[in-house]
Amino acid sequence: MKKNSSPETFRKKVRKGLWAKPTSGLAPGFAQANLVILDRSLAFDFLLFCQRNPKPCPILEVLGPGEIEPRRTAPGADIRTDVPLYRIWRKGKMEEEVKDIRPYFNTASVSFLLGCSFSFEEALTHAGIPIRNIDEGKNVSMYITNIKCDPAGPFSAPLVVTMRPIRDELVPRAVQITSRYASVHGAPIHIGHEKKIGIKDLGRPDFGDPVTIQKGETPVFWACGVTSTLGALSAKPDLVITHAPGHMFITDVNNESLAVI
């Protein structure tokens, strides 16, 4: 498939089962989203968890119970088939990965689409700030911090962060650029000093791959959407459906339209 396919073209391929791979770099310019699907009975508390923790859990769209079309962010899409790979979780444990969740989706299923840092990575790149994990062809490094999210009902989680090494003199510019993207994780939550946020060894991320940190670079930490998955699973619901890591839902939302100023 062409890297520059439109989001709609991409989603149609996915729907036909023709793409079950990661989405990094696809449909440049358009926002990709994390997905969490829960039962209606848990939807208020989970929405509140996201509202109380907007940096790791920035909501792009919430579908009403049983709704399958994200008509605000991807008109015509079907949330049950248009994500390349889903994970089915029972009581907080992963059961399987599937390409079609229609057997698991019902009239009480509430779908949450959450912003993803791919959006601001594009803005950083455009501003001449290189992204190490992209340059090294790796997944971004992710770490579980000692910062606790503000809980809501049965949902709680530690804050998970992504780390990107930034040349020391570019750190202020990286803060400025990502600050504009408040609805997709926004400004960093921490700069350097990883031990202060409970990270013992940058070479051993909890998720994703380690990347090279060069002399003259500062590790910069942004809130990460994986927090929303940990949050959803923390309540050990009978059923949670998420995207598989890196296999995001591609929306019709222009990244630039997410900038607050």
Q: Which residues bind a copy of itself (CB under 8 A)?
A: 40, 43-44, 47-48, 51-52, 59, 62, 64, 72, 150, 152-153, 176, 179-180, 182, 186-187, 260-261
As measured in angstroms, the least distance from the Cβ of 234 to a copy of itself is: 16
- Based on CB atoms, which residue is closest to a copy of itself, 42 or 163? 42
Helix, strand, or coil (residue 87): strand
Q: Quote the CA–CA distance of 144 and 217 in Å, as a whole number.
A: 21
As measured in angstroms, the least distance from the Cβ of 48 to a copy of itself is: 6
As measured in angstroms, the least distance from the Cβ of 261 to a copy of itself is: 5
Report the phi/psi class of residue 69: left, alpha or beta, with left for phi > 0 and alpha for psi in -120 to 50: beta
Phi and psi, residue 141, nearest 5° = -75, 130
As measured in angstroms, the least distance from the Cβ of 229 to a copy of itself is: 19
- Rounded to a whole number of angstroms, the CA Rg of the chain reads 17
> End-to-end alpha-carbon separation of the chain, Å?
34
- Based on CB atoms, which residue is closest to a copy of itself, 53 or 117? 53
- Based on CB atoms, which residue is closest to a copy of itself, 14 or 47? 47
- Based on CB atoms, which residue is closest to a copy of itself, 76 or 153? 153
Report the phi/psi class of residue 183: left, alpha or beta, with left for phi > 0 and alpha for psi in -120 to 50: alpha
Q: Which residue bears the tokens 């310019």?
A: 29
- Based on CB atoms, which residue is closest to a copy of itself, 84 or 186? 186
- Based on CB atoms, which residue is closest to a copy of itself, 58 or 84? 58
As measured in angstroms, the least distance from the Cβ of 44 to a copy of itself is: 4
Q: Quote the CA–CA distance of 134 and 123 in Å, as a whole number.
A: 13
As measured in angstroms, the least distance from the Cβ of 62 to a copy of itself is: 6
For residue 226, the surrounding DSSP H or E stretch is helix 226-234
